[in-house]
Chains A and B, each alone.
Chain A
């Protein structure tokens, strides 16, 4: 296991460097890094000069990037033109977004896996068709449509849930969390179903039956454990989608989290905040993926026990 962890860590480093370098090149070398820093007007020449000096833009590209990454690693994502430190803005907001993402993940795992299992063991029957068709619809409806419609129905019309979640308490975040998780719920249940159906045909499930195990044990222990391996990988890969969805969800429900901050920064053309937040989210995404990968190693001993 130790060797596996080390290998995964070493594999992540080049991807992390490559990804951040790519983002850096795009924003600072290809784009105009001072665009939109001064509101709607172009920046005055002395501002541009100071900016270039601050960000070492006269140095060679690699040096610029190294200096920038040094700042990022020290937790300095720059200061936006309101004079606020982007890291501080993010630190103040991340607990809300973490809450939102956890609610979404719980929905994803609980509803998604159970629906997938139900469909998988009743393959070809009503439950299976119900899950297949309903997930198809959910997958097809973009998050912002689901969010707006649920807000209209459950918030505005029925009044069951609060319309907005400005304070970001757990109870306020239930509906936004469900919205954020909705599409992933559908993917998780489809993937669980497919994976379960495939595994139910596996030889070792036949062995489990031949051992005289209860059907619930043959499915619940022997099949499910194997079927969840791709599901776990999916949840990790999908975490990026979840972060993107958080921008939309937080906008709809007025949640004051990282996603809402990013949305407002885009609206206000606050470049330092946009780039800083996206870099930060990409890094979070990569780290979550690493954690999921390690968990994957625990689930599937074929990977870690060579």
Chain B
């Protein structure tokens, strides 16, 4: 590899080329966790794709399987207990789940990379931050120490860390939360990956810092035409940046739509519930809605629609038959028996009042 590597010439170092702009295709992914207590079906057939320059948000509560999906795509699931039991993850057309570990490792980092939620625990506490960024260049590009450190400084400057050249030798605990997350991002974009997965990148941060980090991610994405997968539980974060949204529940995608369509008219009761639970200035004085109950135990996912114990519109069919992810419009799918009605803005008959659900329904 040439030592005059120039990150500004995007994509020039990669032998991977997307087909028709399609970077990543996840197809029928299944993951389970085998524990002493039993088998938890964490992911049950998840499919989505990602194009160059596109931002896909994966939205869900904790335990919905969004982070597990990301880890399975990255190939960093803890195994045991986690096992990929089905499906394909294609990067530029090639199934990376079928690759040898060694070949897959050359994709992880240089092609697909990841930013984690808690930068303090995700950065190694005993090595200087510059060293940790430089490690990418040294291990994947065979660069020597001083060049790699120079690259690290350049990246730290790019993610707007003040005094980068002086702080390159500092340790993670000496930075603020926002700065640490910037370092995490610098490390993730070091080798100019085509896909960046950000797993709750702002959850651990103050609100003002959250906005700065999201802005940085947006800039970097635009500059490098990266495909960005943004994993979050926070609808507010998603609205400004995402192109498309996949809403996950109990290890399945329950709604998949362009961001404006989804906000305009959710096609799944769960999404509807999530939107209604956001405080809004224009609805002052109304009671804030919330979704009652708890997400299901992944070892005993209820039969039929997994959301039925918490759904206000649940009918007999919902308890008996699991809805497919129906095509309900352009670029738009929903896993609800009443999706057609919902997408047209009609409300199916209410089958229970919200207060009946308080206190939680956990099978």
- List chain A residues, Cβ under 8 A from B184: 207
- List chain B residues, Cβ under 8 A from A213: 105, 109, 135, 139
- List chain B residues, Cβ under 8 A from A208: 124
Closest partner residue, chain B, to A306 (CB atom): B174
Contact with A along B117-140 (1 / 0, CB 8 A): 010011111111000000110011
Q: Report Cα–Cα, A305/B126, bound state, in Å.
A: 11
- List chain B residues, Cβ under 8 A from A204: 121-125
Q: In the complex, are the beta carbons of B76 and A214 less than 8 A apart? A: no
From B114, B121, B126, B174, give the contact of A210 (CB < 8 A): B114
Q: Report Cα–Cα, A150/B97, bound state, in Å.
A: 53
Q: Report Cα–Cα, A300/B171, bound state, in Å.
A: 10
Q: Report Cα–Cα, A301/B171, bound state, in Å.
A: 7
**Is the C-beta of A211 less than 8 angstroms from some C-beta in chain B?**
yes
From A210, A212, A222, give the contact of B106 (CB < 8 A): A212
Q: In the complex, are the beta carbons of A202 and B121 less than 8 A apart? A: yes
Q: Report Cα–Cα, A299/B127, bound state, in Å.
A: 10
Q: Report Cα–Cα, A38/B106, bound state, in Å.
A: 78
Q: In the complex, are the beta carbons of A211 and B126 less than 8 A apart? A: no
Number of residues of chain B lying within 8 A (CB) of chain A: 33
Closest partner residue, chain A, to B105 (CB atom): A212
User: In the complex, how many angstroms separate the beta carbon of A205 from the nearest chain B beta carbon?
Assistant: 8
Q: In the complex, are the beta carbons of A226 and B124 less than 8 A apart? A: yes
Q: In the complex, are the beta carbons of A226 and B126 less than 8 A apart? A: yes
From A202, A209, A305, give the contact of B76 (CB < 8 A): A209
Q: In the complex, are the beta carbons of A203 and B108 less than 8 A apart? A: no
Q: Report Cα–Cα, A118/B136, bound state, in Å.
A: 27
From A201, A206, A217, A229, give the contact of B122 (CB < 8 A): A206
Q: Report Cα–Cα, A204/B170, bound state, in Å.
A: 17
User: With A212-B109, A212-B140, A302-B171 in contact, is A226–B125 under 8 Å at CB?
Assistant: yes
- List chain B residues, Cβ under 8 A from A8: none
Closest partner residue, chain B, to A222 (CB atom): B124
User: In the complex, how many angstroms separate the beta carbon of B274 from the nearest chain A beta carbon?
Assistant: 27
User: With A203-B122, A206-B116, A300-B126 in contact, is A211–B174 under 8 Å at CB?
Assistant: no
In the complex, chain A residues 194-252 whose Cβ is within 8 Å of any chain B Cβ? 201-204, 206-214, 217, 222, 225-226, 229
- List chain B residues, Cβ under 8 A from A217: 139
- List chain B residues, Cβ under 8 A from A214: 105, 139
**Is the C-beta of B113 less than 8 angstroms from some C-beta in chain A?**
yes
Q: In the complex, are the beta carbons of B139 and A211 less than 8 A apart? A: yes
Q: Report Cα–Cα, A214/B101, bound state, in Å.
A: 10
Closest partner residue, chain B, to A298 (CB atom): B126
Which residues on A are within 8 Å of B, measured CB to CB? Answer: 201-204, 206-214, 217, 222, 225-226, 229, 299-302, 305
18 contacts between A and B (CB under 8 A): A203-B122, A204-B125, A207-B116, A207-B184, A207-B187, A208-B124, A209-B74, A209-B108, A210-B108, A211-B108, A211-B135, A212-B105, A213-B109, A214-B139, A225-B126, A299-B126, A301-B173, A305-B171
